[in-house]
Amino acid sequence: MRQMGIAKELSLLLACIATGGASPAWGALFTDTTFDVADYSAYVYQTGGAVIDFSQTLTGGNPGSALQVTTEVPATGVERFNSEEYFVNRQLSYSPETQGILSSIDFSLDRYFQVTDGFPIASIFATILIVQDGNFYAHSVSLPVATGIFQTGAASGLQASDLYLITDFATLTTDVSKHPNFAGGPIQFGFATGWFSSPHTRAITVDVRSDNFSISLRAVPEAETYFVMLGGLVVVTLLRLSQFVTSND
């Protein structure tokens, strides 16, 4: 049985040499179900005329507390009204340079929409944000058009090429040719909410809520990590071999 144990250790060592070390692993990095607004940096933009307020609602979530954004839009008669709110979590930061190059990201976010007076809604989205080097990047997931209920928007295996640089914050216009650097400097994470109507003809109140925000990362450990693991396996295997030889002298 002792010889079988050594054989297994040698097999593990050879497997690590062949694969370059351990494979990347999934890790839940962040989940927010309470949405204390003090945890977020908020950036609010609009094309004009509306009163936009955001706060933590303690009972209007899915369930419990959530982040609620209320937009009071007057009857301006403009051709198009746009508003966007960007919430970046202050506690959530990841540095690919020191913690491992990112290979992909998962995200999930529950969204709720309600508009007064039966104002028609054409589309609903859940949008993840990445902030790096002062630039904002976004990826949006389309949801069924339904009001007064929470729906979950989620995406798995997002690559850097799936996130686009935001070039107009009031309209969430993006440049699809520019992306974050998954091997670069520190990254912060968040999400966006917003509303647009075209044409806009009457006063409305828009209630948008966000809950159960989750981010998971897949990171590739740096080369140093592989060498440390490999070195440890070599030492352990040599020690076990030495014990086996000594016990048979």
The domain segmentation of the chain, as residue ranges, is: 1-22+223-249, 24-220
Q: Just give the CATH number of 24-220.
A: 2.60.120.200
On the question of pLDDT at 9 being above 70, the answer is no
Q: What is the pLDDT of residue 223?
A: 45
Name the residue with tokens 């990826």: 139
Q: What is the pLDDT of residue 121?
A: 79
pLDDT band at 233 (very low <50, low <70, confident <90, very high): very low
Cα separation, 234 vs 16, whole angstroms? 10
Name the residue with tokens 């969430």: 172
The more confidently predicted of residues 52 and 231 is 52
pLDDT exceeding 70 applies to what percent of the chain?
74
On the question of pLDDT at 245 being above 80, the answer is no
71-92 average pLDDT score: 86
Name the residue with tokens 């979950």: 152
Q: Are 101 and 22 in contact (CB under 8 A)?
A: no
Query: In terms of C-beta density within 10 A (0-12 exposed, 13-18 middle, 19 or more buried), how is residue 23 classed?
Result: exposed
Residues 95-142: pLDDT tens digits? 999 999 999 999 999 999 999 876 777 789 999 999 999 999 999 999
